[in-house]
Chains A and B, each alone.
Chain A
Amino acid sequence: MSSTEQGTSSAAPAEPTTAPESAAAPEVPESFYYVHGKDKVVHKVSAGALQHSALIHGMISNLGYTEEQAKANPFPFENIDGDILQMVVDWCNQHKGKPTPPEDTNLPKQKEKLFDLVLAVNYLEIKELLTYCCKQVAMMVKGKSPEEIREIWMIPTDAEDEAAEKEAKKRAGKEAAGETAAAAGDAK
Chain B
Amino acid sequence: MPIPLLSFPSDLLRDIFKGCDPFDLYQLSECSKRTRKSIMTNTSKNNWKIKGNDKKIGVLCGNVRYRFIKTTTPTSYYEYSQVNRFYGDWSERVKGMFIPYPNGGFTELFVYLVDTFRIRTVNELRSPNETAPSCSFDQYLELMRSVIDRELDVERLCCDTKGDKCAIANFMELSNQINVTEAFHCDQPFPPGFQHQFTRFPIQILLKGASTISKIFEIFISIDAEFWVRKKTLLDNSPKITRS
Nearest chain-A residue to B78 (Cβ)?
Answer: A143
How would residues 1 to 15 of chain B score, 1 for a CB under 8 Å from any chain A CB and 0 otherwise? 111111011011001
- What residues of chain A lie closer than 8 Å to B16, measured between beta carbons? 134, 137-138
- What residues of chain A lie closer than 8 Å to B2, measured between beta carbons? 151-154
Is B34 close to A, CB under 8 A? Answer: yes
Count of inter-chain pairs, beta carbons less than 8 A: 85
Q: How far is the CB of B219 from chain A (nearest CB, A)?
A: 48
- The answer to whether B8 touches A118 (Cβ under 8 A) is yes
* Size class of the A contact interface (CB-based, 8 Å): 20 to 34
Is B136 close to A, CB under 8 A? Answer: no
- The answer to whether B35 touches A155 (Cβ under 8 A) is yes
Dominant secondary structure at the A interface: helix
Q: Among B24, B31, B35, which residue has its beta carbon within 8 angstroms of that of A142? A: B24
User: For window 18-64 of chain B, which residues contact chain A by CB distance below 8 Å?
Assistant: 18-20, 23-24, 27-28, 30-35
Is A6 close to B, CB under 8 A? Answer: no
Interface residues contributed by chain B, number (CB under 8 Å): 28
Is A150 close to B, CB under 8 A? Answer: yes
- The answer to whether A146 touches B34 (Cβ under 8 A) is no
User: For window 86-136 of chain B, which residues contact chain A by CB distance below 8 Å?
Assistant: none
Nearest chain-A residue to B30 (Cβ)?
Answer: A146
A-B contact pairs, 21 of them (CB 8 A): A111-B1, A115-B4, A119-B12, A122-B11, A122-B12, A130-B15, A131-B15, A135-B19, A137-B19, A138-B18, A138-B20, A142-B24, A149-B28, A150-B31, A153-B3, A153-B5, A155-B6, A155-B34, A157-B31, A158-B34, A161-B33
Beyond the given pairs A118-B12, A135-B19, 4 more chain A to chain B contacts, judged by CB atoms under 8 angstroms and listed by A's residue number, are A149-B28, A156-B34, A157-B31, A158-B34
Binding site for B on A (CB under 8 A): 111-115, 118-119, 122, 130-131, 134-135, 137-146, 149-158, 161
